[in-house]
Structure 1
Amino acid sequence: MATDATARPALINGVAGLVNTLDDQLISVTSFAISDGRIATIDILSCPDRLARLGLTRLEP
């Protein structure tokens, strides 16, 4: 069975991040904190209950 996984660039709370989907269903949101031009921390939110409360809006390219 084939699946369609995507990671699309996004602004997450004003910082660089990714919105990750599997078969067009949101599975996680990843954000990156940058310090001195390098990734200092990576935060991943994958709790379905918390993801449902984010109120994300899909933007078409």
Structure 2
Amino acid sequence: MKVSVDEVKCVGGGHCAIAAEEVFDQRDEDGIVVLLDPAPPACLHDKVREAAMLCPAAAIHIEDAT
């Protein structure tokens, strides 16, 4: 899995950081998403998918490895 984020689309809702704190964080000054791990281990994939689903701005993009 490869994860990317669109900081321009991010509205700072924080859903990602709550759902997958190992992969996402937020900037202190404005709450915009910070990607901590663009290639998370398999044990976190479900959390990352949930974070993407919960994102109100659809700012999280997931590319599954084939």
Q: TM tier, shorter chain? A: under 0.3
With a CA cutoff of 8 Å and minimum separation of 6, indicate the structure with the bigger relative contact order: 2
> Could you state the TM-score of these two structures normalised by the residue count of structure 1?
0.27
Q: Which has the higher helix share?
A: 2
> Could you state the TM-score of these two structures normalised by the residue count of structure 2?
0.26
Q: Which has the higher strand share?
A: 1
**Structure of greater Rg:** 1
